[in-house]
Structure 1
Amino acid sequence: MVVAAHLQGAASTWFMRRFDSLQRMTFDELCTALRYNFRCPLDRLEISAALGSTTKKATESYADFSHHLSTIAATMNDGEESIATAEDALATFVKNAWPQHRASLFSCVKMQSADPWREMEEAIKYPTKVAGHDGRRRFSSTHPTPSRDRPVPTKRSEPSAPTTSNRRAKTPRRDFSNAVCDTCHRRGHTTGYHDQWVARQGQAVHARLALAATSILDDEEEKPLPTTSTDTPSRDSERDE
């Protein structure tokens, strides 16, 4: 029954169904029967490849990871540990326990020793001391409760229609106040606009003359005319009297 307490899955079912016949076996005969019926179906090369690719889980301590590797390595020897299987487990532990400290861990242990199990214990102590814990990641038991408030839908602002205008932007006027004409050598216009400037000046002169003539006529119309009276007697009439 002690053996049955450590069996799981199909092995436990197999043991319970054959309990009466297995009870008459010795312990060595029972182990041989278990290996024959539940040995690993993989060959040595496949087991070695699986061992080398085994990585430590976040919830697994360094000691548990070491035991896991030793169990896998023992399957290459019908489930029995040997110095060779222990060395294989130790090499995998150094490589995959903490890859960032692989070189330091490699220098702390002897990969080939008469007692690889003792070297495995020393290998477990190093990452435990450096990390400050046994290798199991602590997950917070309390998780933030998501808010039950319904999110307020935000109104999307509709893109405004592009405004089109037929008006062209006004071109800023250039300042020709300091420009000098090469034709008349006067300021206020360039040589290319000399003819236009002269025409504008002529129109301005005519406008000033017309304005002056209009003002003269207005002044003359406002002057009073000389008055003649019929009641005043002339000198000839005075002489006749």
Structure 2
Amino acid sequence: MTVTDAKVIIALDFDTEEQVFDLVERLDPKTCRLKVGKELFTRFGPAIVKRLVSSGFDVFLDLKFHDIPNTVAKACLAAADLGVWMVNVHASGGPKMLEHTQNQLSQLSHAPKLIAVTVLTSMDQSQLDSVVGNTTLNQQVLKLATITRNAGLDGVVCSAQEASMLKRALGKSFELVTPGIRPLGANQDDQSRIVTPSQAIVDGVDYMVVGRPITKAEDPVAALTAINQEIAAAMH
């Protein structure tokens, strides 16, 4: 499995740089990508992103920008300067924010993938009801994903349970990135809407974010290998 088709994005949800690089130094960039989220970025800043990129890894900078169009576009351009492979924004920022950011990034020679968050995978229907009335999870996800596609972005972050619906509605080239992936028997943790890696592939997921099932495993490399093998079997 080469870096061009590695499907697993490992969430580096650690408290210290030592923990991050203890894991990363054991990993092969050909077998996975890496995700830097809000905690890690807030603690260690752009320097840790640059170090991971310079180690040969594709990095997904998961900061979920949500602000006025010009601010979000400039933040994504700053992310591009770090050499990241993917960056994300909140689709609920609206069409103008999405279109302006995509337009700004498209002028770069090596633009990162730009994707949007639809509905957080920690949300269930009752939580959504408290924010958006008279709308099902699927309706809200499809609405935001459609706005995202129409704005020209590469794809969305969604639950794998919504993947098949989105692929049917928005086409195969619109990329789906899914957290909440748990191998059979793994702890559900704080995710409400989860599926296995093989089911995710069947449902049309392009990239899957996996955190604790790898990072908390006794042997993280073996855990990653097992997931990659499950994915490869599902793709054939």
Same fold (TM over 0.5): no
Compare relative contact order (CA 8 Å, sep 6+) and give the higher one, 1 or 2.
Answer: 2
Structure index of larger Rg:
1
TM-score (norm 2): 0.22
